[in-house]
Structure 1
Amino acid sequence: MPAQQTRTTTAPPLRAHPPRVSAERARRFGSWYYAEHALKVMNGYRWTLIAYSVGNPVMYLFAMGVGLATLVDRNSPDAFGGVSYLAFIAPALLSSATIMTAATEFTFPVMDGFKWRRVYYGPHASPLAVHQIVNGYIIAITLRLLLMTAIYFGIVAAFGASPSPWGWVAVPVAVLCGLSFGLPLMAYAASIKEEKGQFALVMRFVVTPLFLFSGTFFPLDTLPIGLQWIGWISPLWHGTELGRLLTYGYQEPVWLVVIHVVYLIVLAILGWRMARKIYEKRLGA
């Protein structure tokens, strides 16, 4: 029986794009190229990210929304507008998770790009523009926040804490909440040339008070009037109020809903513009 003949084909040799083509693609898709780079870096420690980003708020959900909720609902069944304490607290934890994550990703990693590993200078030496580096990193963090929030909302919905059919809209609202806090923080981090504990002070004296005094665990109007202003300027309070409106139909006047949305958008845009200017000043436009 004649031996079977195997036909082999030679793969065509790989050829790199000419510099002109690569430069044109970088100028067109540079933001997405840098976002891909940032996401691949995150993928190297993805299990740590999942444990921190999802595990931390889920533990809060069990401790406060499930454990404490049994006592609150038993003793004050009408304290939260007729809904359970779990339904009341879940949107707040959703928004606070994005703010905590944004506070992490828009501080040390930003300074790392300028000072320690100087990871911004390599892409900047390529045809990528400064604004593409800024936008690419923001895209990567936005995708991370979106995935984390979607998973967390799925857990919240499984516990029956989002009875409204519009509850899923709380996911992009929570992401916007995280960006409205994180992008101004990104601009601040980019302006720092020597790290001397500034980020620890931000976590202790900015993030923690916002978490405690933004109507997260109880209605804001139950606080003394001298402390309510913290919630009024806090992105977390605005995001939480919108989340409650969407997840269980929290009663809110239309004019206040508009203020919530506009406030978060304006903060995010101002932070983004400030970050671009500071990056351009440090890297060179």
Structure 2
Amino acid sequence: MSQGLSTEAQHDATARAIAAGRLPRRWGAWYVALHRFRVMKSYTGTVVVAGIGNPLIYLYALGVGLATIVDDNLPDAAVGGVSYLVFVAPALLASAAITVASEEFTYPVMLGYKWNPTFTGMSASPLRPTQIVDGVILSVAVRMAVNLVLFFLLILVFGAAPSPVAFLSVFAGLLGGLAFGTVLMGYASTLEEDTGQLAMVMRFIVLPMTLFSGTFFPLSTFPIWLQWIGWISPLWHSTELARVFSYGYAEPIWLTVVHVAYLAVLIVAGWVWARRIAIRRLGR
């Protein structure tokens, strides 16, 4: 009798274990995202500064300070058909998404794989490596969206979003940030050791991309031999798309479609790349 009860208890324990493993198998990406949100709480101050402080400083310094000089020395509405503040605000919003991507898809990824291998621990549970990647991307997308919404609200305060559909510039910024970020995550996932590669990414990719993507001046003002940097830059595509939404920037409809398609392709390519590396490194 006691043996029967023991066997029954074992069956119950097995059933509970199987049931407990079903939720992570189904919703594993959200479990990982929840973990990342808890980690982000440890640097809430940075998130707040990035979400409110930086936009406020940039909008005031560039959109008000520099805009006064530009507008006073150029014909009315000479920059893209609008004031310099209205012109530069969508670009600053798109750049904010790139900044978040640079923060969240570099060293935290190295941390998860190498320095504090939480990804290894996660993969020992019912979570799949692909769910770990999905969860990280979802968590960064949420943080990015929050930052962009805060940035957009500040743009409204400055009166730099005249279009009735200007709120869609948040979507444009999110596309650009994820397009760059997923590819960056794929690259960071390949690194076994950080011997300065990520610092070089910041110096030789992020910085030139910010300067030569039509962020502060129209891309057409650059020499033709520099314009190609903008053409391949996700920041240029998201900035142009954000300007279309923010103030009705005039461009052919086919070019708007190209912006969306290019960013979507980068997101998918980077996401797939990061997933494949995770499967290889985490063993399942």
TM-score using structure 1 length: 0.92
Identical amino acids, percent of aligned pairs? 52
Equivalents in 2 of 1:188, 1:54: separation in Å?
A: 29
SS of residue matched to 2:81: coil
RMSD (Å), alpha carbons: 1.2
- Correspondence for 1:106: 105
Structure 2 matches for 1:33-182, cutoff 5 A? 33-76=31-74, 77-182=76-181
C-alpha contact 1:187 1:274 (8 A) present in aligned 2: yes
Give the CA deviation at 1:52: 2.8
Give the CA deviation at 1:101: 1.1
Structure 2 gaps, min length 5: 1-12
Give the CA deviation at 1:81: 3.5
List, as ranges, runs of 4+ consecutive aligned residues in structure 1 with deviation greater than 4 Å.
Answer: none
C-alpha contact 2:215 2:239 (8 A) present in aligned 1: yes
Equivalents in 1 of 2:50, 2:80: separation in Å?
A: 32
C-alpha contact 1:111 1:189 (8 A) present in aligned 2: yes
Equivalents in 2 of 1:197, 1:81: separation in Å?
A: 39
- Correspondence for 1:268: 267
SS of residue matched to 1:120: helix
Q: Which piece of structure 1 moves more, 81-90 or 51-60?
A: 51-60
Structure 1 residue 220 and structure 2 residue 219: aligned?
A: yes
Give the CA deviation at 1:155: 0.3
Cα deviation 1:49-99 (Å, max 9, x = unaligned) = 211343223211111111010111111123213311000000000000100
Equivalents in 2 of 1:267, 1:283: separation in Å?
A: 24
Q: Which piece of structure 1 moves more, 251-260 or 70-79?
A: 70-79
Amino acid aligned to 1:83: V
Equivalents in 2 of 1:98, 1:126: separation in Å?
A: 32
C-alpha contact 1:89 1:217 (8 A) present in aligned 2: yes
Amino acid aligned to 2:165: W
TM-score using structure 2 length: 0.93
C-alpha contact 2:80 2:218 (8 A) present in aligned 1: no
Structure richer in helix, relative to its length: 2
Structure 1 gaps, min length 5: 1-14
C-alpha contact 2:51 2:146 (8 A) present in aligned 1: no
SS of residue matched to 1:18: helix
- Correspondence for 1:9: none
Give the CA deviation at 1:100: 1.2
Aligned length: 270
Amino acid aligned to 1:32: W
C-alpha contact 1:53 1:101 (8 A) present in aligned 2: no
Structure 1 residue 185 and structure 2 residue 161: aligned?
A: no
